[in-house]
């Protein structure tokens, strides 16, 4: 292991600790506002979805430990690379901007964060497939979860930046915009599953499905409430489609197989 590689891994540890502390401060600091609830909109989800963010931090903590093992060296150095450091700094800046009420600038930073995390997501998928359960759990899973979370958060941030709520509830155009956002998240989740020639990324789809379920439990306008539930059901069930088709196909082949006399 070269000195540059050691320096990169140490940098990963340091920025992770910074990331963890900045997130804790954003949740429990004097502003008392989370990323999602910094400003209420007609697509704001229930607060329990924040546990996904907690899971991401735990798995990323596993990544900064697992990177020191030989099995993770290539994926950590060449697959994740310096994008972990970049993503953490961008994500932390985005959290600070939301906490400060700068939603439009924050939206720019969440897009930059999404671009950086996407580079890791696609690099790992293309060039560094998992070879064991440790790779799946501490290399691929945290970045798949992070990617799904940042896509979901970008949609929430978009509404925080450019929409506002009214006392009388959402109007026609507000409903249309939210329904389009729900459709986008649902189709994106399907895209996760269909990615990699039907091997799919169920982890990212699961995040979006839970996010839509959280929108369903928090929004009470009938159009938004039930549309979010439909999107959540489709998103959470769709990953099972290949297994269902495989099971049905297997049963059909058994039923049509000729009997041996």
**pLDDT tens digits for range 229-257:** 999 999 999 887 766 666 665 554 444 44
Q: Give the closest residue to 146 by CA, choosing from 212, 80, 198, 98.
A: 80
Does this model's pTM top 0.85? yes
Phi, psi of 90 (to 5 degrees): -65, -45
Backbone dihedral region of 136: left (phi > 0), alpha (psi from -120 to 50 degrees) or beta? Answer: alpha
Give the model confidence (pLDDT) of 180-199 as tens digits. Answer: 999 999 999 998 888 755 45
Q: What is the mean pLDDT of residues 116-129?
A: 90
Task: Indicate the Cα dihedral angle 159, 164, 167, 170, nearest 10°.
Answer: -50
């Amino acid at each position: 292991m070269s000195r540059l590689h050691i320096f990169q891994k140490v940098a990963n540890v340091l920025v992770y600790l910074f990331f963890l502390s900045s997130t804790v401060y954003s949740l429990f600091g004097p502003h008392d506002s989370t990323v999602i609830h910094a400003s209420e909109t007609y697509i704001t989800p229930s607060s329990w979805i924040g546990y996904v963010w907690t899971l991401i931090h735990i798995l990323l903590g596993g990544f900064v430990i697992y990177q020191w093992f030989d099995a993770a060296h290539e994926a950590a150095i060449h697959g994740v690379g310096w994008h972990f450091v970049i993503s953490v700094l961008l994500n932390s800046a985005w959290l600070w901007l939301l906490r400060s009420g700068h939603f439009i600038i924050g939206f720019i930073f969440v897009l930059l964060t999404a671009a950086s995390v996407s580079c890791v997501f696609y690099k790992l998928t293309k060039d560094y497939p998992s070879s064991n359960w440790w790779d799946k759990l501490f290399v691929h899973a945290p970045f798949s979860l992070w990617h799904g979370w940042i896509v979901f958060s970008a949609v929430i941030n978009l509404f925080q930046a450019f929409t506002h709520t009214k006392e009388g509830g959402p109007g026609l155009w507000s409903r249309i915009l939210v329904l389009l956002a729900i459709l986008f998240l649902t189709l994106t989740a399907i895209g996760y599953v269909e990615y990699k020639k039907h091997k799919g990324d169920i982890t990212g789809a699961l995040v979006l499905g839970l996010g839509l379920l959280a929108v369903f439990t928090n929004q009470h306008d009938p159009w938004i409430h039930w549309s979010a539930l439909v999107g959540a059901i489709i998103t959470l069930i769709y990953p099972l489609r290949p297994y269902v088709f495989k099971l049905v196909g297997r049963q059909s082949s058994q039923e049509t197989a000729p009997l041996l006399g």
